Structure 1
Amino acid sequence: MLFLKLFKESFIFAFDALRQNRTRTFLSLLGITIGIFTIITVFAAVDTFRGNLQTSVDKLGSKTIYIQKWPWGGFGDYPWWKYMQRPNANLRDYEALKGRITTAEGICFQVGLSNRTLKYKSNSIEGARVSAVSHDYDKTWNFDLSEGRYYTDNESNSGAPVCIIGADIAEGLFPNQTATGKDIKVLGRKVQVIGVFAREGEDLLGVSSDNTLLLPLNFARNLVDVESDRYGPQITVRGKDQYSVEDVESELRGLMRSIRSIRPADDDNFALNKTTILSGQLDQLFGIVNIAGWIIGGFSILVGGFGIANIMFVSVKERTNIIGIQKSLGAKNYFILMQFLFEAIALCLIGGLIGLGIVYLATLVATYGFDVKIVLDRGNIIRGISISVIIGVISGFWPAFSAARLDPVEAIRSK
């Protein structure tokens, strides 16, 4: 009850300080407000981007490994020209892995046939991303179909002239029509649309099926050299649920070295790329942004803390005789100390809540005005309130301690 009474009186004193000294208190709280706004905005933005990144990683598959010529994330100490001499992932590697790997849920050979023009009667689309994939593509990538179906085994094995297209392509070639069952022209050949990917929108990694056309690999290999370096061939492997990505990676490395007859002392001539490489690099970037937010916001909070301390020293000076009367009536030192300390915390909480309110308004403007969803979660709200309380304790302790040590007789005579 004493704690609640002190807290209530402290808020009353704090609001009284705001009312009587509006300009001085406003300027002092401005530092706290700006600091909390800066720090929480940075954290909210980073959390939002990290959430979008996780969505992208989930789409690619957290247990998916890409066997490619080039590594993600730089070359390290390995000379770049050695990467140039590496062979591309090829169909021999794919067939050998497919027959020997035990930890994989699915394994797929994939090539990107660059940007192509698609035509349907008088309609055409330029810059469509055309890819050719083996049958297990649906086991190595996460996607949904808004209409139609996936390839059958027979269509994949025979290289049937069929395709699956993205939502943007379907909308551009077949406005207000059903796409499945219609023939479009790609790579100089007619292919039948058997499915349409559900609309995804472009994610943080730039991965989206909206502008993609998917062909069976055995159809494409009759038209182009699917092992050519210009098409970026890769083998995609997704591990089974009961195995960790490290287990899958370890087996893949052993099998690839065996398939390519690499001697024990020689380096790998292939790269095993994982989505965790990308997320790890972005986490480092987010960490730097977090530090920058703490530094910028910290300076503002520091200035605000000095302002709150100044207000509290002035408040002690103005209420010295009241403190003397309270002490003469039996008030203990800790009561006086807690009274002013709570007042400092209350002032900082007001500044912090204003900062959080501005952040919340900014998230609403971003979400509804610019269609950019920024998440202000409970953790960031608690962080903002906690910082405000800590700054209140630090900036209010010495003024409160000074007030608690006043001599009651001298304090009564001070006015």
Structure 2
Amino acid sequence: MNALRLTFESFRFAWDALKSNLLRTILSLLGVTVGIFAIIAVFTVVDSLERSIRRSMDFVGDKVIYVGKWPWNFDPSSPWWKYFNRPVPTVREFHELQRQLGPNHKGVAIFVNKGGNTLKAGSNSISDCSLQGISFEYRVVSNVPIVAGRYFTAQEVEAARPVAIIGATIAENLFPEGNAVGREFKAHGQKFLVVGVLEKEGKKMLDTPSNDANCLIPFGMFTKLYALSTSGMGGPSPMIAVKGRDEDPGLLDLEYEMQGVMRHIRGLKPRQEDNFALNRPEMIADAIGKFFSIVGAVGAIIGSFAILVGGFGIANIMFVSVRERTNIIGIQKSLGAKNYFILFQFLFEAIFLCLIGGGAGIFLVWLITLIPQDALPLYLSAGNIAFGLLVSVVIGVLAGIIPAIIAANMDPVIAIRAK
């Protein structure tokens, strides 16, 4: 209990010392403020950039394997003509995957899209829209956030009925009076009934496909409007996606199974290479993660120099403070103050300085995040706040420990005589 009381007294002495030299305190913590601001600002921008890019790529889904013609990690130096001559996935292969795959998956979907479409509803129209034909299990492999209406029924997809789920931008332009569900529009001379409206996504950083200008229709209805390309050139070509199970920590078993089934469907001999690609979103996620790890490390190194300068400033002020209060230290020790009491008094003072400066730097970063940004919304995470405060404490300990030790080990008689 006595130790706790002495520790509290050390806090009080340190706080009184900071208040008595207010101008010096403010000037001292500016270096730490700039340092913490620099490093937390870098981490905030990097985290926000990574978050925006990952959000732009969320259309590829999670735990999904895509069957396509081209690999996503294509090396430009590789013989590209081998990939060029590959066949594209077909509806027959989609049905065979549905039939032959075991219980390692949650759903199999086929989808195809075509951009540059004009949709009309009465006197209203919107151009440059994407028509996307999907199978019934598309909502299993990809996120379909419907805010009004419903998803397709299995009967509507199987019968290729003229029904549609439209994006928010399409709904706002074709039906500005509101409530697009149950209304009709035309695309390529074909009438469609709106059964659902997708949640508004807004602009994405990488300008990746957005649901806002996307119109989902049954796959069979799409094939009535467009002839599918068998080579991937000169027309829309479909892609097949298989969703893995959530409890499965990896997709290797499913990938190997899909590889075997696809080789069997296409009649490939054991020595023949695959003429298809199995792509996973992890390929993109890993590349993004590695890139931002490097960017974050470089930013941390740059910010650490600013923090280092601030730490030297705090250490210099602490040495000055010890020299100024030498006489007081002697009086305290002569009255029975323990060495750790003097040590904590100056150590807490350094930590206080750094915490106040670090808190001010974090506050400045938070103010910047409040500025509206369409291209890159900034987000200050709790982890970055905790890291900034932790760094402030560490800098305070490192900057104040030597002056505090010097003060604690002073001879009280010599200290009292100091002027």
Give yes or no for TM over 0.5: yes
CA displacement at 1:59 relative to structure 2? 6.2
Q: 1:307 to 1:265 in 2, by over 3 A?
A: farther
2:20 to 9, 12, 16: 16
Give the corresponding residue for 1:402. 406
Give the corresponding residue for 1:173. 174
Instruction: Assess if the C-alpha contact under 8 Å between 1:110 and 1:234 holds in 2.
Output: yes
Give the corresponding residue for 2:330. 324
Name the CA distance, whole Å, in 1 between partners of 2:155 and 2:374: 47
CA displacement at 1:204 relative to structure 2? 5.7
Name the CA distance, whole Å, in 1 between partners of 2:89 and 2:56: 24
- Could you tell me which amino acid in structure 2 is paired with residue 68 of structure 1? G
- Could you tell me which amino acid in structure 1 is paired with residue 176 of structure 2? P
1:138 to 2:139 alignment? yes
Give the corresponding residue for 1:92. 92
CA displacement at 1:212 relative to structure 2? 0.6
Give the corresponding residue for 2:305. 299
Give the corresponding residue for 1:281. 287
Give the corresponding residue for 2:418. 414
Give the corresponding residue for 2:340. 334
CA displacement at 1:373 relative to structure 2? 5.4
Give the corresponding residue for 2:239. 234
Name the CA distance, whole Å, in 2 between partners of 1:6 and 1:259: 78
Instruction: Assess if the C-alpha contact under 8 Å between 2:331 and 2:416 holds in 1.
Output: yes
Name the CA distance, whole Å, in 2 between partners of 1:33 and 1:226: 61
Q: 1:154 to 1:8 in 2, by over 3 A?
A: same
Name the CA distance, whole Å, in 2 between partners of 1:355 and 1:289: 21
Structure 1: gaps of 5 or more residues: none
1:271-295 C-alpha deviation (Å, 9 max, x unpaired): 2222222222222232123213312
Give the corresponding residue for 1:245. 251
- Could you tell me which amino acid in structure 2 is paired with residue 383 of structure 1? F
Name the CA distance, whole Å, in 2 between partners of 1:356 and 1:226: 55
The DSSP-based 3-state class of the residue aligned with 2:32 is helix
Name the CA distance, whole Å, in 1 between partners of 2:275 and 2:182: 43
CA displacement at 1:109 relative to structure 2? 1.3
Q: 1:328 to 1:194 in 2, by over 3 A?
A: closer
2:360 to 354, 361, 366: 354
Give the corresponding residue for 1:343. 349
Give the corresponding residue for 1:28. 28
Q: 1:331 to 1:161 in 2, by over 3 A?
A: closer
Name the CA distance, whole Å, in 1 between partners of 2:396 and 2:124: 66
Instruction: Assess if the C-alpha contact under 8 Å between 2:7 and 2:341 holds in 1.
Output: no
RMSD: 2.7
The DSSP-based 3-state class of the residue aligned with 1:406 is coil
Q: 1:149 to 1:309 in 2, by over 3 A?
A: closer
Instruction: Assess if the C-alpha contact under 8 Å between 1:144 and 1:197 holds in 2.
Output: yes
Give the corresponding residue for 1:213. 215
Name the CA distance, whole Å, in 2 between partners of 1:240 and 1:63: 7
CA displacement at 1:52 relative to structure 2? 5.6
Give the corresponding residue for 2:267. 261
Name the CA distance, whole Å, in 1 between partners of 2:414 and 2:99: 93
Give the corresponding residue for 2:186. 185
1:311-367 C-alpha deviation (Å, 9 max, x unpaired): 01111121122222233333333332222222111111111111122223223334x
Instruction: Assess if the C-alpha contact under 8 Å between 1:114 and 1:231 holds in 2.
Output: no
Count of residues in correspondence between the two structures:
409
Instruction: Assess if the C-alpha contact under 8 Å between 1:70 and 1:83 holds in 2.
Output: yes
CA displacement at 1:264 relative to structure 2? 3.6
Name the CA distance, whole Å, in 2 between partners of 1:76 and 1:395: 52
Name the CA distance, whole Å, in 1 between partners of 2:402 and 2:89: 69
The DSSP-based 3-state class of the residue aligned with 2:66 is strand
CA displacement at 1:141 relative to structure 2? 2.0
Q: 1:412 to 1:152 in 2, by over 3 A?
A: closer
- Could you tell me which amino acid in structure 2 is paired with residue 218 of structure 1? G
CA displacement at 1:194 relative to structure 2? 3.0
Identity %: 46
Which has the higher mean CA deviation after the structures are superposed, 41-50 or 386-395? Answer: 41-50
Name the CA distance, whole Å, in 2 between partners of 1:152 and 1:319: 81
Q: 1:246 to 1:118 in 2, by over 3 A?
A: same
1:157 to 2:163 alignment? no
Instruction: Assess if the C-alpha contact under 8 Å between 2:166 and 2:214 holds in 1.
Output: yes
Which has the higher mean CA deviation after the structures are superposed, 339-348 or 275-284? Answer: 275-284
CA displacement at 1:309 relative to structure 2? 0.8
Give the corresponding residue for 2:65. 65
- Could you tell me which amino acid in structure 2 is paired with residue 385 of structure 1? L
Instruction: Assess if the C-alpha contact under 8 Å between 1:34 and 1:297 holds in 2.
Output: no
Q: 1:161 to 1:330 in 2, by over 3 A?
A: closer
Structure 2: gaps of 5 or more residues: none
Instruction: Assess if the C-alpha contact under 8 Å between 1:60 and 1:142 holds in 2.
Output: no
1:290 to 296, 300, 307: 296
Instruction: Assess if the C-alpha contact under 8 Å between 1:111 and 1:132 holds in 2.
Output: yes
Instruction: Assess if the C-alpha contact under 8 Å between 2:68 and 2:88 holds in 1.
Output: yes
CA displacement at 1:142 relative to structure 2? 2.0
CA displacement at 1:370 relative to structure 2? 6.3
CA displacement at 1:44 relative to structure 2? 3.6
